[in-house]
Amino acid sequence: MSSHPDTSRNTMPAVSLPRWSHRFVMPVLLSVLMTAVVSAISTLKAVGVRPDIVSLWLQAWFWSWIVAFPTLLLVLPLVRRWSAFLTEEPAAPAASPKRG
């Protein structure tokens, strides 16, 4: 029996972007998901449930993403530096003495 998980039932599409594109793909996905959630909550809180809620939410989502994505690209390097400052790399394991 193999110790590797079965990936034949993977439901995610097989997209093969170059590794360097991660620095752009991650902010796009993060900004889309975060603005969707925040704009949905704020739209529901502001107007309540009404027949045109989806239209209002999509408009709010669009404008919030237009602001959030460039902002995320601008502040991400600073946030990475702050994160590196506040955290530390785990210590390298000490070499065990050889018994002989």
> What Å distances lie between residue 29 and 11, 13, 66, 77, 84, CA to CA?
18, 15, 13, 17, 22
Q: Give the model's confidence band at 92: pLDDT under 50 very low, under 70 low, under 90 confident, else very high.
A: confident
pTM, two decimals, is 0.66
CB neighbour list of residue 39: distance below 8 Å, 6 or more residues apart: 57, 60, 61, 64
Does residue 32 lie within any of the structural domains? yes
pLDDT of residue 78: 95
* Alpha-carbon gap, residue 87 to 75, rounded angstroms: 18
Does residue 28 lie within any of the structural domains? yes
Does residue 79 lie within any of the structural domains? yes
For the cut 60, the answer to whether the pLDDT of residue 76 exceeds it is: yes
Domain, as residue range, for 29: 23-83
Q: What is the pLDDT of residues 3-43, one digit of tens each?
A: 555 555 667 667 788 988 888 888 899 999 999 999 999 99
CB atoms within 10 A of CB 50: 10
Task: Report how many domains make up the chain.
Answer: 1
